[in-house]
Structure 1
Amino acid sequence: MNNRDVDRLKGRNLFLAARIGAGGIFALFFVVFLLGTGQRADAQSYRFSSVAIEGNQRIETGTILSYAGIARNETVSAGQLNDAYQKILGSGLFEDVELVPQGSNLLIRVVEFPTINQIAFEGNDKIKDEDLAGFIQSKSRQVFSPTQAERDAGVISEAYSQNGRIAARVTPKVIRRSDNRVDLVFEIFEGRKIEVQRIGFVGNKAFSDTRLRRVVESKQTGLLRALIERDTFVEDRVNFDRQVLSDFYNSRGFVDFRVTGTNAELARERDAYFVTFNIQEGQQFRFGEITTVSEINGVEAEIYGDTLKIKPGVVYSPTLVESSIARMERLALKNGVDFMRVEPRITRNDRDLTLDVEFVIQRGPRVFVERIDIEGNTTTLDRVIRRQFDQAEGDPFNPRSIQQAADRIRALGYFEDVDVNAREGSRPDQVVIETDVEETTTGTVSVGASFSTNSGLGVSLGFSERNFIGRGQQLTAQILATADNINYNLGFVEPAFLGRDVALGLDFSFRETESDNSLFDTAIGTFRPSLTFPTGENTRLNVYYNTSYEDMTDYQGTSGILQNEIAQGGLWTSSVGYNFSFDTRAGGLNPNAGVLLSFGQEFAGLGGDNDFIKTTARLVGQTTVLNEDVTLRAILEGGALNFSGSRDSRFLNRFGSQVIRGFEPNGMGPIEGNELLGGDFFAALKFEAEFPLGLPDEYGITGGAFYDIGSIWGIGNRGSVAPGNTLSSTGFKARHVIGVSLFWSSPFGPIRMNFSKALEKEPGDIEQTFDLTVRTEF
């Protein structure tokens, strides 16, 4: 035995002497003496004919003896006594343990840990008691464990850290009660939130700091910072921003982009962080040669190559490659080709900065879906999740299709977390798809306020449930009131009507207003069921039936046309219609540009009092320039209302809203005397730009400029003009407006201020030189 072993055993037995009662002191001194003479420590031994337990109240004697492992009339060494002590103490059941040898008897005294009477939190304000209680493992009426209490304190501290309060301190304390009970109190010092004072980027050349700050989720400290949450430093959010930046650059052809480091430096005052992303952009690549080859007999590559929309010269994007592969695989299923896989083989051309892509059609492994398991959903029905999968039990397994299903489940917005994995099934050629979700709240009750120069101050009360009784249905109800009007709206949407990708909508609204025309009141009630479904990759079709009741009362003016229309009383309209939309803003070839085209018609005359065809169209084009710092937008829209039968159009049917800026709603168009009537036709062309003003990003203020051209014209009810009045502006006469805008992403909601000047207008038009809109929910 070397000196190190001797010292170790000396230390162990001295510790044992401190824990064993006075009856064993002499024996331990004898052990130390033996160690001093170089003899083995375990030469000292004991033999106990009886083992007694004292101090246990809840824990059975047999349980303690089983931990000790000391049998009667068996020889045990001092080291074994020490081991017995460590085992009993290590059980976590006792606050104190003492082993007392008494000749041939061994007395084990224990002090049990108390039970927890109640758990309390003190000093917390930002996180509620019930939320904190859900974080910890310690519970009332359980045995108190100091180790668990410390772990719980760490969990609470981490919760505050995720909330941006990294200086939070949590101290567990106990208050002794009778009957071996304690109150466990977590004393909390929350501290203040640590804000992100500045977000910077090093190494960026293609995009400015301003543009990249709009990409990341973390935000700088802004105005009214107490109402903003994303300017609080949260480490997980900063880590997520690294992936967001990579996705942003990759979708714009920077395939070599890397975030080389993220520095989060705490200010000297320890009240704010300075976050810096160190990046390497690399070069921007474009698509080069695009080819398709087939390695499956009987599958012609040309047929699948014709589905490709990628053209050489387009900025490279992994998303476009993935969507092309998905399009090919959908065509394979349609053609009855199972287990077809498409592998993109990319050849890099550094000389001309292009990437040649060869889509190789291959036969994939013959693997089937055995079943789809869904766990974690307590409210949402299984079928709501299951219908997001294109594949069902028994179908050929397609990993890409499963990933797309996972993305669709996340996009529902019903879940805090979604995890979809595939594992081997009961046979090697089968897989089980495991879907684990964590639900989140989907219902909101909102009280809101709005303001505009047109309708003044308004208040709203709303209810919304995006996952009604777990069926994936949407239910909304809202009341919006201003000084002159009130709106009631109730809506319901079943997104998978009859189990298909068809949305059934039911909308009811009722509106009473005095604001459309100050000379009379209106009442409009509408019920509209509809069906909406995709007709292509970027197109959707909405078909509907509409029934409405419209009434105009309490007219105080002199217009003969309006007097005639009001004299007709309340009228019913029964109509069918459709709206077709084509939208490439989200899934187009260019992430910086997009087009929206919508066209709709309403056919009235299926019963009711009115017989007309109403046509509307809108075309929007948008792009970003100057490294995406400036947004350019052009809007072309128009409408036509054609009545037939014995009735002409009424004010409530005609176009009269604010078709261009610079004029009030119903502030231009046909006019009788001095009363504007609205028109049967309208057209507008709008150009606008939005750009930074050089102000600090945290202000959230940008600028804009616009130029609008538009007109409202045409009215069929000309024979009712009152004597002495004249009817004017019935033909197309373009108005021209120029203006500037200020945009503020305020904590109260998006605010837009327009300052406009009419360059060309007609007599009787009501100009509006300033317009402000703001809306928020709280």
Structure 2
Amino acid sequence: MVWGKNVGISCGKRVKRTNILYRGVSVIALTVTFGLGLSPNFAEAQNYRFNQVQVEGNQRIQTSTIVAYTGIERGKTVSAGKLNDAYQNIVDSGVFESVELVPRGNTLVIKVTEFPTINKINFEGNRRIKDENLSEVIESSPRRVFNPAVAEQDAAAIAEAYGVQGRLASRVTPRIIRRSENRVDLVFEISEGDTTEVERVSFLGNQVYSDRRLRRVLETKQAGFLRAFINKDTLIEDRIDFDKQILRDFYLSRGYVDFRVNSANAEVTRERDAVFLVVDVSEGQQFSFGDITVSSEVSEADADVFRKALKSKPGITYSPTVVETEIERMENLALRLGIDFLRIEPRVTRNDRDLTLDVEYVLTRGPRVFVERIDIEGNTTTLDRVIRQKFRTVEGDPFNPREIRRTAERIRALGFFSESDVDVREGSSPSQVVLDVNVAEQPTGSLNLGGSYSVTDGFGVAVGVSENNFLGRGQRLSLSVKTATEADEYVLGFVEPHLLGRDLRFSFDLGVSESDSSFSEYDTKRAFLSPALFFKLSESSALRVSYTWNSAEMIARSDITYPGGTYPSAAPTIVNEIAQGERTNSVFGLKYSFDSRLNGLDPNAGFLFEVGADYAGLGGDNEFLKTSTKFVAQKTILNEEVTLRATLETGALHWMGNNNSRSLDRYVLSPSIMRGFEPGGIGPRDRSARPDGTTYDDFLGGNMFAVARFDAEFPLGLPDELGLRGALFYDVGNLWGLNDVDTSGSTNIVGRDGSFRHVVGFSVLWTTGLGPLRFNFSKALKKEDFDQEQSFDLTLQARF
């Protein structure tokens, strides 16, 4: 009668299991034979008594240890069932390849074959994941006993690591190589396979928003034309979970409070190199705000005072973000009024008949809990103060759970940490809490290489080096080099986001540039330095205070030779400006901006207003006042398929110095401001006669300009993976004024008084892995004879 086991060795990857083969030896199936099994009645009655236990085949494991596994005591009666349990106990120890129990009279012989020891672990075929990273994934390690079950789990873990990168077709096959002294080398043979692309993303149940609009919301994208430059078209399970959340946030912010994602299923193709992602949703009805009221259960908190602080109004689309913003606004008001531990509880009443939600903000007294301590761990490089700057709470302040959640979001938004958590635990007493901040740092430096093309500067190469957490201080240090066919620029930048520990951003830029544009008859050299302070005035407005010192010089090009002699390549007015040589400006600037999108009341509409003034004269060679304004309004219509945008820009230069202004000082309109014309294509020009009978045609810029741009962007009906949209635009603008200019020697200055030009056009917007490109095709409806029209230009798509 023999109880025996030969252990087969196999490892698996997810659903399909792979086999581990000994070199030259096939896998032996698990076999357990019971002699007593031939006669169940006899097996139940059979008993044994062993006076001696003998172990054979063990090398590392002591005999006493193996005997202890059995639980059999010498001289005591042992049933067949107990003997079977003893066998199973030895097998379950996980250190034996085979086990046999052979009763020989009063002696129990235990025959074992030990699992080998792992000599070393190798990975073969891996290129995407390094050996050291794979070693962190597996549990097997050298100098430990080889365990087939653990090796099986390791193979699955490696496959899972590749699955996170979207390589679902990867295969992992563990092998062992026999060595002397019962040792083996464990080798994981890896076939990485290609990334499993998302070939198609489709939706079920959506009626309000089209598939095309919802695809723009998701992080997961369909495989596109430039798939080699992006990886968001790769199937990653964690990303799908994230997409479910942002899809829910998208609908909730638009009033669809009953929205839910029923399922998100990925169907893998037969080749396992692509999937079809199908998202089943239920939209529900859209709700708006009904009655918005404030009530107070705290004596010192006047409900009327807090009601006046609200910005939302009945009738606007309901959004949880608006509610959160209103709560934050009232909590900040409570702090200014010196009311501690005030909590705002939103109570929502649903009105299904008119599809509104009444919101009552109840002012209540929260528990008297204080922040005892803030502990920060995990930051080996980043200074504690960089993280503490994201707290609006310090030790001793009242504890506000909502503020702590917002703090955690601000820490994550730094981008310095791969993981960041803010946990709360009880402090030295029930009325005290300790805030534990646990972070895991990640690289914050970057090297950017890119190419560019613009009508103004031609083809170019850009190289940028930046460190966003310089010396662990949360500061940004960057160096950029841009070289193009007609311009070179070198800029060193520095940003301190919390100057003196306050919510005050300081920036400093230092740079030089040169240009030899084909649109002008002179070259330029510039050098500048510009420190600036930026701070918020309110939740929607900000102010920028800056100082700029710059030096600029216009450089003449070679004279033109003709049969009668030579003459300057530039017009007389430009020659006079070149003769001024290098001139410096010492400029103090103010810029105020208001962005309605920051209050979050309407995700489908918003506007931006900016007004600025620069004064030069406290030092430097020139004295002038230069003002500018910009207003942008945008709205999406037709279920957010079409975007309408209107932009108005103006500028005015008032020259006050004793010298004359130059083209470098005046406004010159580029295609980014007024489409349909070359850089400097509209405005005053010097068209004096040349000695050879031809005419100069040099732009001079102007003291005043006004431009209005109107855009309508819409889908083209092409497959989404192409990333193409269309746009129609209409621009109207004017550039005029030419005071304080030395025009001596000029015989024909045109465009002083200006006139409004009108341009229509069509654009192709292409979202690529290299950035959003905009191809503009335009036609001037009204222009001057001397204007330089441009029917096509390629630019980066502007963002509002």
Q: Say yes or no: TM over 0.5.
A: yes
The one of 98, 123, 129 equivalent to 1:127 is: 129
The residue aligned with 1:668 is: 682
The residue aligned with 1:575 is: 587
Kept in 2: contact 1:194–1:273 (CA 8 A): yes
1:192, distance to aligned residue in structure 2 (A): 3.1
The residue aligned with 1:622 is: 634
- How many Å separate the matches in 1 of 2:620 and 2:354? 66
1:708, distance to aligned residue in structure 2 (A): 0.6
1:739 corresponds to 2:761? yes
1:111, distance to aligned residue in structure 2 (A): 4.6
1:15 corresponds to 2:3? yes
Q: 1:485 to 1:17 in 2, by over 3 A?
A: closer
The residue aligned with 1:10 is: none
The residue aligned with 2:20 is: none
- How many Å separate the matches in 2 of 1:141 and 1:507? 57
1:731 partner amino acid: D
- How many Å separate the matches in 1 of 2:44 and 2:790? 106
The residue aligned with 1:219 is: 221
Kept in 2: contact 1:51–1:72 (CA 8 A): no
1:718 corresponds to 2:735? no
The residue aligned with 1:3 is: none
3-state SS, counterpart of residue 254 of structure 2? coil
Q: 1:591 to 1:726 in 2, by over 3 A?
A: same
The residue aligned with 1:679 is: 702
Kept in 2: contact 1:721–1:727 (CA 8 A): no
The residue aligned with 2:614 is: 602
Kept in 2: contact 1:54–1:107 (CA 8 A): no
Q: List aligned pairs for 1:497-646, cutoff 5 A.
A: 497-515=499-517, 517-555=519-557, 556-646=568-658
The residue aligned with 1:173 is: 175
1:250, distance to aligned residue in structure 2 (A): 0.7
1:110, distance to aligned residue in structure 2 (A): 5.3
- How many Å separate the matches in 1 of 2:338 and 2:796? 54
Of residues 69-78 and 375-384 in structure 1, the stretch that sits farther from structure 2 once superposed is: 69-78
- How many Å separate the matches in 2 of 1:571 and 1:442? 39
Of residues 355-364 and 239-248 in structure 1, the stretch that sits farther from structure 2 once superposed is: 239-248
Q: 1:745 to 1:101 in 2, by over 3 A?
A: same
2:646 partner amino acid: A
- How many Å separate the matches in 1 of 2:683 and 2:77? 111
Q: 1:137 to 1:549 in 2, by over 3 A?
A: farther
The one of 746, 752, 758 equivalent to 1:730 is: 752
The one of 739, 745, 748 equivalent to 2:770 is: 748
Of residues 397-406 and 742-751 in structure 1, the stretch that sits farther from structure 2 once superposed is: 742-751
The residue aligned with 1:56 is: 59
- How many Å separate the matches in 1 of 2:638 and 2:450? 37
Of residues 183-192 and 289-298 in structure 1, the stretch that sits farther from structure 2 once superposed is: 183-192
1:343, distance to aligned residue in structure 2 (A): 0.6
- How many Å separate the matches in 2 of 1:690 and 1:537? 29
- Post-superposition Cα deviations, 1:670-697, rounded to whole Å, max 9, x if no partner, equal 1112211112222111101110111111
1:750 partner amino acid: P
The one of 44, 48, 66 equivalent to 2:48 is: 44
Kept in 1: contact 2:6–2:98 (CA 8 A): no
Q: CA RMSD for the aligned pairs?
A: 2.8
1:396, distance to aligned residue in structure 2 (A): 1.2
Q: 1:415 to 1:18 in 2, by over 3 A?
A: closer
- Post-superposition Cα deviations, 1:2-56, rounded to whole Å, max 9, x if no partner, equal xxxxxxxxxxx7525999xxxxxxxx97x88997457655x312233x8778643
Kept in 2: contact 1:580–1:600 (CA 8 A): yes
- How many Å separate the matches in 2 of 1:612 and 1:63? 94
Kept in 1: contact 2:757–2:781 (CA 8 A): yes
3-state SS, counterpart of residue 136 of structure 2? helix
Q: 1:77 to 1:532 in 2, by over 3 A?
A: same
- Post-superposition Cα deviations, 1:276-326, rounded to whole Å, max 9, x if no partner, equal 222221111111111111101121111111110001111111100010001
1:255 partner amino acid: V
1:465 partner amino acid: E
Of residues 157-166 and 533-542 in structure 1, the stretch that sits farther from structure 2 once superposed is: 157-166
1:657 corresponds to 2:663? no
Kept in 1: contact 2:4–2:99 (CA 8 A): no
2:264 partner amino acid: T
Kept in 1: contact 2:297–2:363 (CA 8 A): yes
Of residues 483-492 and 83-92 in structure 1, the stretch that sits farther from structure 2 once superposed is: 83-92
Provide the identity percentage: 52
TM-score normalised by L of structure 1: 0.90
Kept in 2: contact 1:561–1:717 (CA 8 A): no
Of residues 754-763 and 264-273 in structure 1, the stretch that sits farther from structure 2 once superposed is: 264-273
Kept in 2: contact 1:56–1:110 (CA 8 A): no
- How many Å separate the matches in 1 of 2:621 and 2:142? 71
1:624, distance to aligned residue in structure 2 (A): 0.3
Q: Which protein has the bigger helix share? A: 1
3-state SS, counterpart of residue 674 of structure 2? coil
The residue aligned with 2:690 is: none
1:657, distance to aligned residue in structure 2 (A): 3.5
Unaligned runs of 5+ residues in structure 1 are 1-12, 20-27
1:650, distance to aligned residue in structure 2 (A): 1.7
1:761 partner amino acid: K
Kept in 2: contact 1:450–1:773 (CA 8 A): no
The residue aligned with 2:12 is: none
3-state SS, counterpart of residue 263 of structure 2? strand
TM-score normalised by L of structure 2: 0.88
Unaligned runs of 5+ residues in structure 2 are 8-33, 558-567, 688-696
Q: 1:74 to 1:177 in 2, by over 3 A?
A: same
1:484 corresponds to 2:472? no
Q: 1:668 to 1:142 in 2, by over 3 A?
A: farther
The residue aligned with 1:312 is: 314
Q: 1:40 to 1:497 in 2, by over 3 A?
A: farther
2:639 partner amino acid: N
The one of 726, 739, 743 equivalent to 1:703 is: 726
The residue aligned with 1:692 is: 715
Q: List aligned pairs for 1:238-317, cutoff 5 A.
A: 238-267=240-269, 270-317=272-319
Kept in 1: contact 2:586–2:619 (CA 8 A): yes
Kept in 1: contact 2:2–2:103 (CA 8 A): no
The residue aligned with 2:779 is: 757
2:785 partner amino acid: P
Q: How many residues align?
A: 750
The one of 185, 188, 201 equivalent to 2:187 is: 185
Kept in 2: contact 1:571–1:609 (CA 8 A): yes
1:363, distance to aligned residue in structure 2 (A): 0.3
1:660 partner amino acid: M
1:421, distance to aligned residue in structure 2 (A): 3.0
Q: 1:310 to 1:516 in 2, by over 3 A?
A: farther
3-state SS, counterpart of residue 597 of structure 2? coil
- How many Å separate the matches in 2 of 1:135 and 1:718? 72
1:222, distance to aligned residue in structure 2 (A): 2.0
3-state SS, counterpart of residue 380 of structure 1? coil
3-state SS, counterpart of residue 781 of structure 2? strand
The residue aligned with 1:433 is: 435
- How many Å separate the matches in 2 of 1:131 and 1:33? 53
- How many Å separate the matches in 2 of 1:260 and 1:37? 59
The residue aligned with 2:397 is: 395
- How many Å separate the matches in 2 of 1:671 and 1:337? 65
- How many Å separate the matches in 1 of 2:182 and 2:43? 47
Q: 1:32 to 1:325 in 2, by over 3 A?
A: closer
1:605, distance to aligned residue in structure 2 (A): 1.8
2:620 partner amino acid: G
- How many Å separate the matches in 1 of 2:453 and 2:677? 17
- Post-superposition Cα deviations, 1:204-239, rounded to whole Å, max 9, x if no partner, equal 222122111111122222224343322222233223
Kept in 1: contact 2:486–2:518 (CA 8 A): no
The residue aligned with 2:563 is: none
1:444, distance to aligned residue in structure 2 (A): 1.6
Q: 1:623 to 1:176 in 2, by over 3 A?
A: same
The residue aligned with 1:452 is: 454
1:616 partner amino acid: S
